[in-house]
Amino acid sequence: MSIAYKISSYNRKRKWKIFLREMGSTPDTKVLDVGFEEDERSSTSNFIEKNYPFPRNITALGVEEPKKFLERYPDVRVVVYDGRKFPFEPKSFDVCWSNAVLEHVGGKERQIEFLKEIVKVAKTAFITTPNRHFPVEVHTRSPLLHFLPKKFFDRYLSLIGKEWATGDYMNLLTLKDVHELLAGAGISQYKIIKHRLFFFTYEFIIIFGDIQANV
């Protein structure tokens, strides 16, 4: 097991404790997971499906056909969509969980649209996204080079065989970016938790909505 994997696993467990503390869980809580993974690359993939005590209350939303996912999590309801509009009625869910998806939906306008969709269908939200200022880019494990202009970083990724991470695959965010996106989505009441690793902020945990309703 690599050091990077051990760190990732440790951080997801810490994040899960924060989720339970902030959002709570009850047998009646309806949960939306935005961005399930069909191909699990590690034991930390689809973390909420693995750990939430009431899997029948989870609806997993994503863009992939869920063949293997349904085999692993038969109690979870799955909805496949076009990656734009969430196909649910307003406030259908008590809690929305979206782990490291915001940076993958496109540029600023798409990110704002994504947040608006969450506001529309969920009463509360727990959203995470990596910090662009963390010294190591967490998807590609590349140190410091993600601080370069995107076209140069993409060129480097292509040279080392990681073309899959170029283009619109990820648009990493700073704390300032996160505040601007929330404002653009009309979200004025929120909390941002800086999830730290050593002396650095590893990722941002964004919480908004009627939190007390789910504790």
User: Would residue 143 count as lying in a domain?
Assistant: no
Say how many domains are in the chain.
Answer: 1
The CATH number linked to 53 is 3.40.50.150
Task: List, for residues 94-130, the tens digit of each pLDDT value.
Answer: 999 999 999 999 999 999 999 999 999 999 999 999 9
**87 is in which domain, residue-wise?**
3-132+172-214
| Cβ-contact 129, 182 below 8 angstroms | no
User: Would residue 50 count as lying in a domain?
Assistant: yes
Residue 62's contacts (CB-CB under 8 Å, 6 or more residues apart) are 34, 35, 36, 37, 38, 78, 79, 80, 81
Residue 34's contacts (CB-CB under 8 Å, 6 or more residues apart) are 61, 62, 86, 96, 97, 98, 101, 118
Tokens 């727990």 map to which residue?
Answer: 126
User: Would residue 137 count as lying in a domain?
Assistant: no
Give residue 7's pLDDT: 65
Output DSSP code: residue 151. Answer: H
Give residue 164's pLDDT: 84
User: Would residue 8 count as lying in a domain?
Assistant: yes
User: Would residue 199 count as lying in a domain?
Assistant: yes
User: Would residue 141 count as lying in a domain?
Assistant: no
Q: Which two tokens stand for residue 76?
A: 């979870």
Length of the chain: 215
User: Which segments of the chain have a pLDDT < 50?
Assistant: 212-215
User: Would residue 162 count as lying in a domain?
Assistant: no
Residue 13's contacts (CB-CB under 8 Å, 6 or more residues apart) are none
Tell me, letter by letter, the H, E, C secondary structure of 22-83. HHCCCCCCCEEEECCCCCCCCCCCCHHHHHCCCHHHEEEEECCCCHHHHHHCCCCEEEECCC
User: Would residue 138 count as lying in a domain?
Assistant: no
Distance, in Å, from the CA atom of 51 to the CA atom of 65, rounded to the nearest integer, reads: 22
Tokens 């010294």 map to which residue?
Answer: 135
Phi, psi for residue 203 in degrees, rounded to 5: -155, 165
| Cβ-contact 86, 60 below 8 angstroms | no
Task: List, for residues 32-49, the tens digit of each pLDDT value.
Answer: 999 999 988 777 789 999
Give residue 212's pLDDT: 46
